[in-house]
Amino acid sequence: MTELALQITGVSKSFGNTRALDDVSLQAHCGEVLALIGENGAGKSTLLKILSGAHRTDRGEMFIDGRRYSPQGPQSARAAGVAMIYQELNLAPELSVEDNIMLGLPGTGLGLLRRETQRQRVRDVLNRVGLVDLDPRAILCDQSVATQQLVEIARALATRPRLILFDEPTSSLPQADVQRLFQIINQLRASGIAIIYISHFLEEVRQIADRYAVLRDGKSVGAGRIADISDSQIITLMVGRDVEQLYPRVTHSIGAPRVHIRRLSGKRQPQQVDLTLQRGEILGIAGLVGAGRSELLRSTFGLDYVSEGSVEIDGRPMQPAVRAAMRAGLGLLSEDRKHEGLAQELSIIDNLTMGSLRPYRKWGWLNLRARRRAAECWMQHVQVKAASPEQPVGQLSGGNQQKVAIARILHQQSNVLLLDEPTKGIDVGTKAEIYRMMGNLAAAGNSIVFVSSYLPELMAVCDRIGVMARGRLQAVRPTTEWTADAIMAIAVGSQPLPTAAPSHDFSRK
Ligand SMILES: Nc1ncnc2c1ncn2[C@@H]1O[C@H](COP(=O)(O)OP(=O)(O)OP(=O)(O)O)[C@@H](O)[C@H]1O
Ligand SMILES: [Mg+2]
């Protein structure tokens, strides 16, 4: 049995009436990775925030290396050897790599000598995360997301942690970068550090974790060695019941062509895309990160610059502008939920309805009750877990925010839905609900473009799949005619690049 690094007993935490953690107990061992698993809103992030000093417990005790641990804030957590890697990067983008690493560390001051020792320390930690060639004076925001994340890990290492907490670190990373991250986690584990790792991808959990702990509705409902439990047993623990179908199919029939995209080109991407979308169809778009999939959706929606080409809906040409797109029935779910999706400080009601208040306006007044009823109805439809419709969206768990974002475009009565990574950060049970929802929407005659980096879901849900590479839509075929390997082969295709290479590799094949 390995040594205990962390022991948590009976920790509870409430936010107002929401009981985020209810008598949680768990353990993490030195030199092991503990996967923290649970549905959206189960309390995973809250637990890590408590450990990293961002929140205080209401009740319960924590011990690190057998010593009582109750951090007064992030600084005191770091001093006690606990480092946290947030899902959304938590660095100062305009500063240099070395400044980011040294920021907030004790003993950082002026003086040439000190600067030189600091440089050495920065180089050491950058080497440890494999960034051997990165210039410490480089400005952070010029680096790729994956590199920035490694810098964040380097910063964590500079504090010489005992325990490192990862909250969904891979949700924005392409597969090659995920593997690189795993190599680093393996090294950290080998050096005796304890790691807690949150992910909604059970394949990942199986690859990287030694043990698991499952939270459901804020309670610990199971823990053990990952080798001793099957995926379906984990899912049953998470959801509290058996999930029979991870990919429910809803029968839907495909109708007449509805959207014609012709030679659509943007600033750099997309390039000359031709695509016809039919009524009642779910069309998947696969491709590498950087292949231009999001840009295709954004140009179609009039959000990104269109240099050439046209979009026609129901036989009418559409102006390349967001207003015109919305009027024509297009709805876009942006991949960047935090910055482009929802207003974090506004309520669920406001977020759901702000795009179309007209149904609730009468003689210049807003019928607040009708608006609330509609919001409740949509929340129920997509099963948002929240204290009330008045709760600010920023207080919801990641997955529940995503559901609100989807409900919003449904509320706008969009019937051509452009969904960019709609299941990012969503738990397995809820993913199944979202697939079913997409099937129902298609059955009702809506058309859906579904961009995803998770190939199994595209193969299971879509009627046709198109593959993008280097800004171009390379091939569109019925899903039954594709194999995962054939999609990959086209996605990594051998055509010369017009400009900078997109980040290599396919996400989570
Ligand atoms: N600052 C806050 N104020 C109010 N409620 C909060 C706050 N932070 C979290 N909650 C609530 O606590 C519960 C647990 O949220 P948490 O973010 O820990 O879930 P999670 O397991 O990380 O979910 P996800 O998988 O979606 O990220 C949710 O119901 C959430 O709405
Ligand atoms: Mg979370």
Comparing 156 with 338, the larger pLDDT belongs to 156
Closest-approaching ligand to the CA atom of 217: 1
Closest-approaching ligand to the CA atom of 86: 2
* Average pLDDT across the chain, whole number: 88
Q: Is 506 helix (H, G, I), strand (E, B) or coil?
A: coil
Mean local confidence (pLDDT), 329-340 = 84
Is the pLDDT confidence value at 498 over 80? no
Percent of the chain with pLDDT over 70: 94
Ligand 1 pocket at CB < 6 A = 15, 18, 20, 38, 40-46, 385, 395-399, 427
Mean local confidence (pLDDT), 164-169 = 92
- The predicted structure's pLDDT at residue 294: 93
Comparing 268 with 481, the larger pLDDT belongs to 481
- The predicted structure's pLDDT at residue 382: 80
Is the pLDDT confidence value at 314 over 80? yes
- The predicted structure's pLDDT at residue 362: 77
**C-alpha 220 to ligand 2 mean position (Å):** 16
CA-nearest residue for atom 8, ligand 1, is 395
Mean local confidence (pLDDT), 118-139 = 90
Going by C-alpha positions, the residue among 196, 199, 204, 241 that lies closest to residue 37 is 199
Is the pLDDT confidence value at 465 over 90? yes
Mean local confidence (pLDDT), 159-180 = 85
**C-alpha 42 to ligand 2 mean position (Å):** 8
- The predicted structure's pLDDT at residue 503: 40
Atom of ligand 1 nearest to the CA of 16: 4
C-beta of residue 435 within 8 angstroms of C-beta of residue 248: yes
What pTM value is reported for the model? Answer: 0.80
C-beta of residue 498 within 8 angstroms of C-beta of residue 268: yes
Tokens of 468: 């993008």
- The predicted structure's pLDDT at residue 57: 96
Is the pLDDT confidence value at 200 over 60? yes
CA-nearest residue for atom 28, ligand 1, is 41
CA-nearest residue for atom 27, ligand 1, is 398
- The predicted structure's pLDDT at residue 507: 39
Q: Which regions of the chain carry the CATH code 3.40.50.300?
A: 4-239, 257-329+414-491
Amino acid occupying residue 261: I
Position 357 confidence tier, pLDDT thresholds 50, 70, 90: confident
For domain 4-239, the question of CATH label 3.40.50.300 is answered with yes
**C-alpha 54 to ligand 2 mean position (Å):** 14
Is the pLDDT confidence value at 412 over 80? yes
CA-nearest residue for atom 10, ligand 1, is 395
Comparing 500 with 17, the larger pLDDT belongs to 17
CA gap 67, 151 in Å, rounded: 30
Report the CATH superfamily, name and number, of domain 257-329+414-491: P-loop containing nucleotide triphosphate hydrolases (3.40.50.300)
**Among 100-104, 203-207, 325-329, 438-442, which stretch is predicted with the lowest mean pLDDT?**
100-104
Tokens of 46: 């809250």
Angle between helices 428-443 and 231-239 (to 10 degrees): 80
Beta bridge partners of 466: 285, 476
Mean local confidence (pLDDT), 280-304 = 93
**C-alpha 147 to ligand 2 mean position (Å):** 22
CA-nearest residue for atom 31, ligand 1, is 396
Beta bridge partners of 347: 392
Mean local confidence (pLDDT), 480-505 = 66
- The predicted structure's pLDDT at residue 413: 82
